[in-house]
Amino acid sequence: MKREDYYQWAERAARWGSDYLETLEDRPVRAQTEPGEIAAMLPASPPEQAVDMETIFSDFERIVPDGMTHWQHPRFFAYFCANAAPVSMIAENLATVMAAQCMLWQTSPAATEIETRMVDWMRQALGLPEGFQGVIQDSATSANVCAILTMRERALDWQGNDSGMAGEKQLRVYASPETHSSIDKSIRIAGIGQQHLVKVPTDGAWALDADLLHQAIEADRAAGFLPAGVVLCVGGTSIGATDNLRRTIEVAKQHDLYVHVDAAWAGSAMICPELRELWDGVEGADSIVFNPHKWLGAQFDCSIQFLANPESQVRTLSIRPDYLQTLGQSEVTNYSEWTIPLGRRFRALKLWFLLRAHGLEGLRERIRSHISWAEEAAAAIAQLDDFHIVTDCHLALFTFQYAPHGENPNDATEGLLRAVNDDGRIYLTQTTHEGQFVIRFQVGQFDCRRQDVMMAVDVLRELAV
């Protein structure tokens, strides 16, 4: 394609995108393809000669959309949403056209300075105290890895990066079993070893038990381990479990441990002041992550990590070879020194567009509606024959089981889930809670309406036979 043809094809792509969004709700939410079906439509070898754009575009239309699960579908109730408010798509297109590479201030000054300002806007929006700074990452997983590496280096007095961990005391990190698997992955990547992520049991409300945390740290010290940090969750992935931050941070600080809070999903809801009691005490954390791409509406991917004092993380991750030296290094922020990859996308642009186009009040209204519709759906499902709610709404997430008389509830629930997703009108996914197979139901898609949520209840009633 020639550069002169850019406008023609961009216009065609925009028209296709607009039609797609317009007709999205007529499509099945989850892709209905079989494994290998899409690959079979592609030639096994790359083309030697250029293919004309008309053919490329029509192959896209023929092959791709039906092979996709539609995350922006208003009846997407699975996992957590990966949202994309239309305004953030526009910003993403602009960033793509500039092909911005934002590794250093001087490689994209506007990107760095807008990022600094957007992180601070979000700090204020979430009610975090002044002094917290932050950085935009691709994913909560990346932020979690950074936080665990920082815990490791801080505990080893910054010797791990240099001399490795052989000969050092064995590190220990503490979290509840409700924390996301990306914490396990981070522990492995950091070389701490899975068995040294201590899963401290939870109390009756699935929150990490602070007394047991205290005992575990003391026992580990006595046994010669080196406790490094605690990971707390606000809105865990499985059922939305939330730790008591104030109490557990108090215990962690008593033992001089680094604290990272994973609020990847629930963090967006903290723009609503009345919900902030959920993370009461969060200001005591050293690091906090939340994903504006999950519930706030910023186009995937966009994850903010707040840091009470960035120095520890920068000391852990920064490296300055000669070819990356810049003039005035001390006066500017080079965000690649705060994270793992060197190259960085211009993610702040979509946040800037999103926050201005909707305003915090507009975004709050959506989140409040999602929570109230989730509560309404849970109440309606509880009334259906043979259904029962297993965990109540944590914000906009609840779980339920289908247990018809004489059938194994786990098998019946799994069978229902399969029927629902093959049907395609709605999309739900599962988790295991206290040994039971349960269906998760979360409301959070940006354009979801009450009628979409209520339709999900109808679909469940109809397919539960």
Residue among 75 and 440 whose Cβ is closer to ligand PLP = 440
Q: At what angle do helices 6-23 and 53-63 cross, to 10 degrees?
A: 10
CB of 173 to ligand PLP, least distance (A): 15
Q: According to the binding rule CB under 6 A, does residue 399 interact with ligand PLP? A: no
Q: In this structure, what are the phi and psi dihedrals at residue 290, rounded to the nearest 5 degrees? A: -145, 155
Residue among 141 and 334 whose Cβ is closer to ligand PLP = 141
Contacts of 134 by beta carbon, 8 Å cutoff, 6+ apart: 119, 122, 123, 304, 305, 306, 307, 310
Contacts of 15 by beta carbon, 8 Å cutoff, 6+ apart: none
Among 146, 155, 216, 264, the residue binding ligand PLP under the rule CB under 6 A is 264
Are the beta carbons of 426 and 30 closer than 8 angstroms?
no
Give the Å distances, CA to CA, from 366 to 75, 295, 448: 15, 9, 9
Number of residues that bind ligand PLP (CB under 6 A): 14
Tell me how far apart the terminal alpha carbons of the chain are, to the nearest angstrom: 54
- How many whole angstroms separate alpha carbon 36 and alpha carbon 262? 36
Are the beta carbons of 129 and 370 closer than 8 angstroms?
no
Show the binding pattern over residues 298-337: x = contacts ligand PLP (CB under 6 A), - = does not. Answer: -----x----------------------------------
Residue among 151 and 412 whose Cβ is closer to ligand PLP = 151
3-state secondary structure of 438: strand
Question: How many residues in the chain?
Answer: 465
CB of 180 to ligand PLP, least distance (A): 3
CB of 19 to ligand PLP, least distance (A): 29
**Nearest CA-CA partner of 248 in 281, 292, 275, 278:** 281
Residues 25-64 that bind ligand PLP (CB under 6 A): none
Extract the tokens encoding 335: 């965000």
Q: According to the binding rule CB under 6 A, does residue 291 interact with ligand PLP? A: yes
Residue among 304 and 378 whose Cβ is closer to ligand PLP = 304
Q: According to the binding rule CB under 6 A, does residue 265 interact with ligand PLP? A: yes
Contacts of 379 by beta carbon, 8 Å cutoff, 6+ apart: none
**Nearest CA-CA partner of 268 in 242, 317, 235, 308:** 235
Residue among 92 and 262 whose Cβ is closer to ligand PLP = 262
Other beta carbons less than 10 A from residue 407's beta carbon: 13
Q: According to the binding rule CB under 6 A, does residue 433 interact with ligand PLP? A: no
**Candidate ranges 34-42, 230-238, 251-259, 398-406; the one touching ligand PLP (CB under 6 A):** 230-238
**Candidate ranges 63-71, 133-141, 380-388, 433-441; the one touching ligand PLP (CB under 6 A):** 133-141
- How many whole angstroms separate alpha carbon 398 and alpha carbon 238? 9
Residue among 114 and 397 whose Cβ is closer to ligand PLP = 397
As a whole number of Å, the CA-based R_g of the chain is: 24
- How many whole angstroms separate alpha carbon 253 and alpha carbon 146? 20
Residue among 334 and 445 whose Cβ is closer to ligand PLP = 445
Among 70, 180, 358, 440, the residue binding ligand PLP under the rule CB under 6 A is 180
3-state secondary structure of 231: strand
**Candidate ranges 139-147, 192-200, 277-285, 309-317; the one touching ligand PLP (CB under 6 A):** 139-147
CB of 59 to ligand PLP, least distance (A): 29
Type of residue found at 29: V
Q: According to the binding rule CB under 6 A, does residue 347 interact with ligand PLP? A: no
Type of residue found at 435: G
Residue among 267 and 310 whose Cβ is closer to ligand PLP = 267
Q: What is the dihedral of CA 440, 442, 448, 454, to 10 degrees?
A: 60
Contacts of 8 by beta carbon, 8 Å cutoff, 6+ apart: none
Are the beta carbons of 433 and 420 closer than 8 angstroms?
no
Q: According to the binding rule CB under 6 A, does residue 139 interact with ligand PLP? A: yes
Among 116, 150, 176, 182, the residue binding ligand PLP under the rule CB under 6 A is 182
CB of 339 to ligand PLP, least distance (A): 13
Among 31, 73, 77, 80, the residue binding ligand PLP under the rule CB under 6 A is 80
Among 78, 103, 118, 140, the residue binding ligand PLP under the rule CB under 6 A is 140
Residues 243-262 that bind ligand PLP (CB under 6 A): 262
Q: According to the binding rule CB under 6 A, does residue 141 interact with ligand PLP? A: yes
Residue among 138 and 220 whose Cβ is closer to ligand PLP = 138
Residue among 152 and 180 whose Cβ is closer to ligand PLP = 180
Residue among 397 and 459 whose Cβ is closer to ligand PLP = 397
| DSSP for residue 169 | P
Question: Which residues bind to ligand PLP, rule: CB under 6 A?
Answer: 80, 139-141, 180, 182, 233, 236-237, 262, 264-265, 291, 303
